[in-house]
Amino acid sequence: MPLTDIEIRNARPREKAYRLADGAGMYLEVSSAGGKYWRLKYRFNGKEKRLALGVYPEVSAKEARSRRDEARRLLDRGIDPSFERKVQKASGVERAANSFETVAREWFARQAPIWAASHADKIIARLENDVFPWLGSRPIAEIKAPEVLAILRRVEERGALDTAHRVHQNCGQVFRYAVATGRAERDVSADLRGALPPARHTHFASVTEPSEVAGLLRALDAFQGTFIVQCALRLAPLLFVRPGELRMARWEQFDLERAQWCYTVTKTKTEHLVPLARQAVTILRELQALTGRRDFVFPGRDAKKPMSGAAINAALRRMGFDTKTEITGHGFRAMARTILHERLRFPSEVIEHQLAHKVPDALGTAYNRTKFIDDRVAMMQRWADYLDELKGCGPGPDNQY
């Protein structure tokens, strides 16, 4: 007779383990420590075998009987339930090893060391927030394009179209890595090209008209904040590096005698050389008297850390500039690129090298920190002189810049 719930609950441990039969080969084994284990005794190919069905009370008598019946059905088909369990377990381990999340994290671990930390953080955050909850446990080889599209639509519907495009891109990178490592047949995300509406990219606000640049420069010189932020504001248009690279500048990277600043570009992990015009050297020497004994050129409130990444834009807003429509810390790069080419007639390849952009030449060389260095030294000094000329001009329709 099947065991009743009362019999199961009241089964107390004894000095030695004992068994309570439930029927059809299943029994409850009660250990000397009080544990209660469901077991199935059966014969396969003439040998007596045991199959664990679970632990009471996590597995109830009803569930244990269901597992027993399933094992009996396998036996009727000539299949050893113990061997089938090992196969299923191995299959589950393989599925977990080839899940989208496992493959994606493996791909990320290989790529992250060559990325800027901020870039890596954004990618893993997108995967963890927008992909893994829905596709993470799925075997990557079994994922179909509609499943990926559902992920992208979910991101798009919350108003983050640009993020949806980036999620699409990252999923494609993971699928292609899975193909390369033999865990998927193809990149199914490629079937979704055109499924999302184009993202409208907005450029960093910038000032490119000389008359407006003149007013901006005079406002920067008149900034009423701290001397450190004022120096950063005055150097930003002179050097036109990325805002994060400026605020993270360290004194050890500067050679003021040779008028050079050499640092590693965050986006490309390549060394970049910035020739310093006389005006930039003057500002840096003034600032060196204040912060030269510290690590960072522009320390924040905590002297061991650089100034905030929002400091430049916050200062611009304090001066009355709209950082969404007029100028941002990043906008000084666009300002320099436009005026250097259109007004001062410097070659675009010289400008792009100074901006530390990857622009392959005829020989396929993407970037060399010393390429066009003489031209770049001359350009940076001419640029600084031009900005001084603009500041010296008064506003008026007759001024020529």
The model's pLDDT over 279-295, given as tens digits with 9 standing for 90+, comes to 999 999 999 999 999 99
Mean of per-residue pLDDT scores for the chain: 88
Cis check for the bond before 57: say yes or no (omega within 30 of 0).
yes
- Unique residue bearing structure tokens 């999923």: 171
pLDDT at 153 (0 to 100): 94
Please check the confidence at residue 84 and state whether its pLDDT lies above 90. no
pLDDT in the model for residue 36: 93
Q: Is the pLDDT of residue 92 over 70?
A: no
Lowest mean pLDDT among 216-225, 266-275, 345-354: 266-275
Q: Environment class of residue 106 by beta-carbon count within 10 Å: exposed (0-12), middle (13-18) or buried (19+)?
A: middle
Does the domain made of 210-392 have the CATH classification 3.30.70.260?
Answer: no
Q: Residue 176: which of 140, 146, 147 has the closest Cα?
A: 140
Mean pLDDT of 135-162: 92
* Average pLDDT, integer, range 223-234: 94
- The residues carrying an active-site annotation are 242, 267, 330, 333, 357, 367
pLDDT given for residue 95 in this prediction: 58
> Are 157 and 202 within 8 A, CB to CB?
no
Q: At what angle do helices 373-392 and 278-291 cross, to 10 degrees?
A: 80
Q: What is the pLDDT of residue 396?
A: 39
CA gyration radius for the chain? 34
Q: What pLDDT is attached to residue 398?
A: 38
Check whether 253 has a pLDDT greater than 70: yes
Helix (H) or strand (E) holding 260: strand 260-264
Report pLDDT digits (tens) over 189-206. 999 999 999 876 555 667
Residue 159 has pLDDT above 90, yes or no: no
Task: Look at residue 89 in the predicted model and tell me its pLDDT.
Answer: 72
**Which pLDDT tens digit goes with each residue over 48-60?**
999 999 999 999 9
pLDDT score recorded for residue 400:
45
Q: Say what the pLDDT of residue 395 is.
A: 42
Sheet holding 26-30, edge to edge: 18-23, 26-30, 36-44, 47-56
| Residue closest to 26 by CA, chosen among 11, 39, 17 | 39
pLDDT given at position 201 = 53
* Confidence at residue 117, expressed as pLDDT on a 0 to 100 scale: 77
**pLDDT digits 0-9 by tens, 211-224:** 889 989 999 998 98
CA distances from 366 to 195, 341, 354 (A): 33, 21, 13
- CATH 3.30.160.390 holds for 5-92: yes
Residues 297-343 pLDDT 10s:
999 989 899 999 889 999 998 888 888 778 888 899 999 999 999 99
pLDDT recorded at residue 207: 82
Phi and psi torsions of 181, nearest 5°: -100, 10
Q: What's the pLDDT score for residue 359?
A: 63
Query: Does residue 46 have a pLDDT over 60?
Result: yes
Residue ranges of the domains in the chain? Answer: 5-92, 100-192, 210-392
Same fold, 5-92 and 100-192: no
What is the distance of C-alpha 215 from the center of its chain? 38
Q: Domain 100-192, what architecture?
A: Orthogonal Bundle (1.10)
